[in-house]
Chains A and B, each alone.
Chain A
């Protein structure tokens, strides 16, 4: 099988095999790996045969977004085009693997090594290629259910796809950065964008900080050594986390109802306070939302902090006690730094979570109350505004452009925070 003529380190076989592999499989056949060669040939044939149409239609569609109504649907063409790009990327990967395989095997022949049989290379797959085998199901799913939709959304931002450019009557077109420019130049978009962004930032900061402070406070409170019924308090404090969030939000929506909710009819009434327009005045809806998120969010921080507190070595406190530290000093010098160090990632997650906390905003009052001169409600954050633009007013391109801005914003902040927390850990 293998040629045992020892030549000086020459790459003759390797080069020829790689060159022949321009048609996948030929190089392998030249290397006398019959099964593998036929396999590669077959896959390449099937690939070209199966996807030729997709490439043809896909790339044409991706560039033109259709030319004729009602035959062409711009959005379907865009989707097909992106799928064609992904399939092509996978094809190129396969092609490269084929070239590399032919070259490597040819090289082995040049060096006078025995060519591995199909059976042996199957074992190779199970061994050397094991990580690829483990990763590929997850990655494939990720590509088609996450990466592809995100790419698609991003692509939409550069088209003019909306109610007036929809199939079957109309086509959409590539418009470049026009939609982005509109967000900042058209008055109504700009003012809405900045007021929504402003509330989103305030909402994120206040709601998250409130949950974090309350969570840590109660964890420290219950952690006191001489406190009785610890188990009982912990179960009570964890309850808001254990009940599904969407249920609690809808319950609160009822309790805060202006006319029949218990807050107005029972609690405020008993205190002699006039009914507050919780759902019809943006200012009060915001107060209600922050309170509810505090209620919903602190138990999670509470349980994690409790876990961290239990892991702080006891001798740290004993040493502090010897030095005559007060309770406050112990908290600020030992407990708090320890909590911060252990919980930084979880604390950051709180902020990104609330930044995208669609559920509470939408389920509580649909982002309302409605505002005059604005496409967003009085308490809409970016994500709930995007949702409404997509589902209620078919402003797809605008929604997509906002999505990109939002993602850039989140990633920038998260990366900055991440680097800071890394520095924090090392410092």
Chain B
């Protein structure tokens, strides 16, 4: 018994040591950014983690605009595009997945194969076409085009996940509702959708984060600084001036990260249920 509790002691001690170590590794870059955003001055040469003379100046600087700097506009653009893509992809994906899960129709099997293939071909393959077509159709700087492209890109993968989840919901539920006189649409909205909430959360999350983090496609379409989203705007901010506006960037980074992180942490449980269920179904 003695050796047993001793080995338990060492095991736990080691575990806590490792966990404290990784905590430092995780927190340091984040704390560094927070520190930078409150640091006086523009460059980081003389930064410290906890600034001696903290200032809100960089947050105030975000509200000012210049010919190439529109922080809150970029913020609004990013949120608008992400939310629109999220809503549209949830609608399109769940409708398509419902049909694939519950009905037999011509082209069902081939359709599923095409979806499987499309989810493997990165949407990146379409980059050149998107570049040329946006110019051809005069849709450079168009947020609508971007939203449609993102939504289309979400369909194959998310439909696959969603269909897998619908498949795991017993058909008896549909049947008994049908006996009670419910139609297809009613069964879809009143029975399947509420039960599929964890997977809906995953689809919504993908629909939101995909556009939010995208740089490649959006940088091809959005050429006017006023139309930028945050990734393009912030990237240009730190590359154009060779690090001279890093502290402003830090303030801008904090302002978008904090709300997104809070929402993510709150909804985390839903994602896990959906992801593991989707994982087993494939």
Residues of A at the B interface (CB closer than 8 Å) are 75-76, 79, 127, 130-132, 134-135, 137-139, 141-142, 144-150, 152-154, 156, 218, 221-222, 224, 226-227, 233, 235-248, 250-255, 257, 259-262, 265, 295, 303-304, 306-308, 311, 342-346, 352, 356, 358-359, 362-363, 366, 383, 386-387, 390-391, 396, 399-400, 403-404, 406-407, 410-411, 414-415
Contacts and interface: CB of A to CB of B under 8 A. Distances in A.
Interface in B41-70: 43-45, 47
Given A135-B111, A255-B32, A346-B275, A245 B213 contact: yes
A356 B153 contact: no
5 contacts: A135-B100, A142-B156, A227-B15, A246-B234, A307-B276
A346 B202 CA distance: 13
Interface residues on B, range: 35 or more
B215 A153 contact: no
Contacts of B11: 224
Given A250-B235, A254-B44, A244 B209 contact: yes
Tell me if A's interface is mostly helix, strand, loop or mixed. Answer: helix
B159 interface: yes
Interface in B169-222: 184, 209, 212-216, 219-220
B213 A391 contact: no
Given A134-B95, A242-B260, A242-B261, A227 B132 contact: no
Contacts of A415: 120
B265 A235 contact: yes
A150 B126 contact: yes
B32 A221 contact: no
The listed residue with most A CB atoms (<10 A of its CB), out of B12, B121, B156, B212, is: B121
Contact of B152 (A76, A141, A303, A343): A141
B179 to A, nearest CB: 16
Tell me if B's interface is mostly helix, strand, loop or mixed. Answer: helix
A283 to B, nearest CB: 22
B264 A241 contact: yes
A252 B28 CA distance: 11
Given A221-B19, A244-B257, A246-B213, A251 B129 contact: no
A358 B215 contact: yes
Interface in B137-166: 148-149, 151-153, 155-156, 159
B253 to A, nearest CB: 5
B39 to A, nearest CB: 12
B103 interface: yes
A252 to B, nearest CB: 7
Interface in B226-282: 230-231, 234-235, 238-239, 243, 246, 249-250, 253, 256-257, 260-261, 264-265, 268, 271-273, 275-276, 278-280, 282
Contacts of B213: 244-246, 359
B270 to A, nearest CB: 11
A241 B264 CA distance: 9
The 10 A-B pairs at the shortest CB distance, nearest first, are namely: A145-B152, A149-B126, A149-B129, A131-B103, A152-B129, A242-B264, A138-B96, A242-B261, A134-B99, A131-B99
Contacts of A407: 120-122, 125
Contact of B268 (A135, A226, A303): A303
Given A146-B155, A246-B231, A410 B122 contact: yes
B45 A260 contact: yes
A227 B16 CA distance: 8
Given A141-B151, A221-B19, A352-B120, A346 B215 contact: no
Contacts of A255: 29, 32
Interface string B68-111: 00000000000000000000000011011011101111001001
Contact of A236 (B23, B125, B275): B23
Given A221-B19, A238-B268, A247-B256, A383 B273 contact: no
Contacts of B108: 131
Given A79-B132, A345-B282, 8 more contacts: A134-B95, A150-B129, A152-B132, A221-B15, A236-B23, A239-B27, A242-B260, A403-B125
